[in-house]
Structure 1
């Protein structure tokens, strides 16, 4: 590749401008009675991400994690965290933008969500909840496959 060819390719940029807690919620609808029960919880974790374009090359990625823990039919707690980041992304081909914003960026935000969920649950007087690592590449691929099967256009 000549210097002239290298100069014609757009400069790739990916930087995290800011990380912030966008929204958080913690509910214990059956307390204090729930504390009197034997602790054999069933936990459901729901993960979602969304991308909002703020300006040219500037995107907000919001990772939402909802943890619902029940004892039988009673909800022990519900914790939801929306962790957001502002990313400057440019110079990537369109086919790489989806995986960047749908997998790479949420992966960068996940440790912050993990810490926030753990803190909320502990402050609610429940045993610590430590979220296991998540394969965002696999989640993104599953989402793309579902969109393709539904006849929709795959997006981030």
Structure 2
């Protein structure tokens, strides 16, 4: 093989790869476990009997998140909670209700302390979501409905909404909005 010329800096020496800044750790994340903590599916149509008529489902999905530090160093547990309600748009009668709490245990290193909370509430749920989506699809299909393929969840927007909600709750009632 022939030697290729390397880019040079102003001094004529070959440019080296940028070394990592001292004190800056590389982020390391590993999924140690995933699990269903709780799962419930209620087929309300089957429970009350089939009624003739037009069914036009409206699906609502509520998402909440929880994270906690585990006793082992650098380990965190993140729980994603989904409540999915399908109701007939004509009479608002519930068709089905699905609730799932899906968790993951993560080993995380190199994330600065001030960035750890958003990392846990955005990146970890983002990794868990495809598995939740598949479970919900299978459960709704097995429950007698067409498989529900949930839309992607914007965990960044969800995190920002929660921060805004908390800031609003902490604001004194007599303080005007800015």
Fold shared per TM-score above 0.5: yes
Give the one of 72, 93, 107 matched to 2:112.
93
Secondary structure of the corresponding residue to residue 170 of structure 2 = coil
Note the C-alpha offset of 1:57.
Answer: 1.2
CA distance in 1, matches of 2:27, 2:84: 36
In the alignment, is the contact (CA less than 8 A) between 1:22 and 1:84 conserved in 2?
yes
Unaligned runs of at least 5 residues, structure 1: none
Give the one of 77, 83, 94 matched to 2:102.
83
Residue of structure 2 in register with 1:69 after alignment: 86
Give the one of 37, 55, 61 matched to 1:22.
37
Larger radius of gyration: 2
In the alignment, is the contact (CA less than 8 A) between 1:118 and 1:130 conserved in 2?
yes
Secondary structure of the corresponding residue to residue 161 of structure 2 = helix
Give the one of 35, 38, 41 matched to 2:54.
38
Residue of structure 1 in register with 2:70 after alignment: 54
Give the one of 103, 114, 131 matched to 2:122.
103
Secondary structure of the corresponding residue to residue 150 of structure 1 = helix
Q: Which has the higher helix share?
A: 1
Give the alignment's Cα RMSD to 1 decimal. Answer: 2.2
Give the one of 123, 137, 147 matched to 1:128.
147
Aligned pair count reads 150
Note the C-alpha offset of 1:13.
Answer: 2.4
Note the C-alpha offset of 1:145.
Answer: 1.4
Q: Which has the higher strand share?
A: 1
CA distance in 1, matches of 2:139, 2:53: 20
Note the C-alpha offset of 1:81.
Answer: 1.3
Residue of structure 2 in register with 1:149 after alignment: 168
Secondary structure of the corresponding residue to residue 103 of structure 2 = strand
